[in-house]
Chain A
Amino acid sequence: MTVLKDVLSELFSMFVADARLTISILAVVAVAALLIDAAHVAAIAAGALLLVGCLAVLLAAVLREARRR
């Protein structure tokens, strides 16, 4: 039972090590998807937003943690 609990906990922490980081990435993907499907923006523009958004999320997450410590 402990092994199963540890496995589930490991799987969870693989993708949700930092809740704000996870939510931010999912938000960037959702916005890119909405731009393509709902706003009919050119796919490549949504792709650029996806890329820049992910880079910005990374920078913000590192700097937030550095300030917090």
Chain B
Amino acid sequence: MISDWSTSAPAIAAAFFASLVEVVEAFTILLAVATLRGWRPATFGAAGALAVLAVIVVALGPLLDLVPLGILQLVIGVLLLLFGIGWLRKASLRAAGVMSLHDEDAIYAKETETLSEEMARRKTSLDWISAIAAFKAVLLEGLEVVFIVIAVGAGRGLLGPASLGAAAACALVLVIGAFIHKPLSRVPENTLKFGVGVMLSAFGVFWTGEGLGIDWPGHDLALFVFAALFLSAGLLAARLARTIATEAAS
């Protein structure tokens, strides 16, 4: 029971927080589209993207069952390492002030401006242009959600709990977004990305190791040790990067 919880809790948490980041980003674009052309094209585009994502999931599911578990763990583990350490690198640089923070208000303003320009250039099918923008935003961010759910869930039959985590994040953003009707700029996105980068990197080392035939001491509990080490390394990296940036500026 402890082992089940120690594996499923990080999978659910990783899927929830990673999806939260992606859904907030998609929601910003949807809101820009809805503000300019109303919710109809925004909903139409988002529904189309969700349908494409559903087809991808339905097509990929049976294929994953055909891949031997060791190879699946190795491939997913390596992809998680690439994705997770990439996120952690960016989050550390942002925490150090070396890279600028992700600003949902600025993205919303830029998207609104880009869409307005596009609509001014093409006088016809304005709803169509808006729907395509919504479609692309949901599809691109949704692909990352699908990958994360598969990556943290497929290695040990946790696709259900991981999907639940992602669905909870979608529901939360939609409910909050429906109430405040503004970009969710107060979400501490870099802190979330830092945490998700830590979790995905820990999963990456865990699955890659299992795929290579490594029997980790403590089994699933090793995930927590890996996460603690990646968290420490990320914080240390941010601190050292801040020192480098300060020295360069002075």
List chain A positions with a Cβ less than 8 A from chain B: 3, 6-7, 10-11, 14-18, 21-22, 25-26, 29, 32-33, 36, 43-44, 46-47, 50-51, 54-55, 57-59, 61-63, 65-67, 69
Contacts and interface: CB of A to CB of B under 8 A. Distances in A.
Nearest to B215: A43
A21 B93 contact: no
Contacts of B86: 14-15, 17-18, 21
A26 to B, nearest CB: 7
Interface in B40-93: 78-79, 81-83, 85-86, 88-90, 92-93
Contacts of A32: 208-209, 212
A62 B216 CA distance: 28
User: B79, B88, B241: which has the most chain A beta carbons within 10 Å?
Assistant: B241
A27 to B, nearest CB: 12
Contact of A6 (B88, B140, B204, B236): B140
A39 to B, nearest CB: 13
Contacts, number: 125
A69 B143 CA distance: 31
Interface of B: 78-79, 81-83, 85-86, 88-90, 92-93, 96, 98-99, 132, 135-136, 139-140, 143-144, 147, 201, 204-205, 208-209, 212-217, 226, 229-230, 233-234, 236-238, 240-241, 244-245, 248
Nearest to A65: B93
Given A43-B212, A50-B214, A66-B240, 13 more contacts: A10-B143, A17-B89, A21-B82, A21-B85, A54-B81, A57-B85, A58-B85, A58-B88, A58-B201, A63-B240, A65-B93, A66-B96, A67-B248
